[in-house]
Structure 1
Amino acid sequence: MDYEVAKFWLQFLNFAVTLCVGLYVWSSNRHRVTNERIGDLEKGIDVRLDAHDSRLATLEGQVKAAPTHADLAQIHEKINTVAQCSSRMEGEMKSQTDLLRLVLNKMTRGDA
């Protein structure tokens, strides 16, 4: 075997191995960076979910304390009762006012 041919094949083999190692390093670094970015996103999502978890717990507590449909129906009935009483009292006061005017008219005219 000729020394020049062996040298050529050794250089070619060295170039091929170096090229393969370079491609491997490039590929692994690309995947490592991608995995780091995914890990950072997961951490960010965990932090955001923790914040949402506390907000949801607060909202659930407020919803539990909110009046139900039955409570609102009772409130509506009470408001209707108060409105009826107020309307009745308004009618009675108007009748009393009319009666008082009638009495005053009779007294001032001297018809009594």
Structure 2
Amino acid sequence: MDLDYSALKFWFDVFLSICLLASLAHNWVSNKHRVNKKEIDQVNTAVVSLTGRVLQVETQMKSAPTHSDLSNIYNRINGMSQDISEMTGAMKAMTSQLSLINEHLISGGKR
């Protein structure tokens, strides 16, 4: 029985090539799954940190003044502005009266 070593070598090379391609495909599929799992874990940690930050912002926003609170503040400021204007007018009147009294005292009651 005479064996053809060149044909045997050819089919052995084909078999090795098929095994190599199968190993390459298996490694590619399994590593792709690992990379996706790592990326998913990274996204999960980012979501957890963002959730904490959103909760902090929501907590701070609950204590922020509402539109009605701001409206009340603006109304109070406007009322204070009116009061200050009235006090300014009263102070001007008092200043003119004091200058008349001072003038009267300086002149000795004579005009």
Q: TM-score with structure 2 length normalisation?
A: 0.88
Q: How far apart are residue 41 of structure 1 and its match?
A: 0.9
Give SS of 2:3's match: helix
Q: How far apart are residue 97 of structure 1 and its match?
A: 1.2
Aligned counterpart, 1:37: 35
Aligned counterpart, 2:90: 92
Aligned counterpart, 1:52: 50
Residue type at the aligned position of 2:25? S
Residue type at the aligned position of 2:48? D
Alignment of 1:3-82 (within 5 A): 3-5=2-4, 7-82=5-80
Q: Distance in 2 between matches of 1:41 and 1:54?
A: 20
User: How big is each residue's C-alpha offset from its partner over 1:55-90, in whole Å with a ceiling of 9 and x where there is no partner?
Assistant: 000101111211111111110000011111011111
Q: Distance in 2 between matches of 1:25 and 1:4?
A: 30
Q: Distance in 2 between matches of 1:31 and 1:102?
A: 101
Which stretch has the larger CA shift, 85-94 or 29-38?
A: 29-38
Q: Distance in 1 between matches of 2:85 and 2:49?
A: 52
Residue type at the aligned position of 1:4? L
Q: TM-score with structure 1 length normalisation?
A: 0.87
Aligned residues: 110
Q: How far apart are residue 8 of structure 1 and its match?
A: 4.4
- Which of structure 1's runs of 4+ aligned residues deviate more than 4 A? none
Residue type at the aligned position of 2:102? L
Q: Distance in 1 between matches of 2:63 and 2:109?
A: 66
Identity among equivalent positions (%) equals: 25
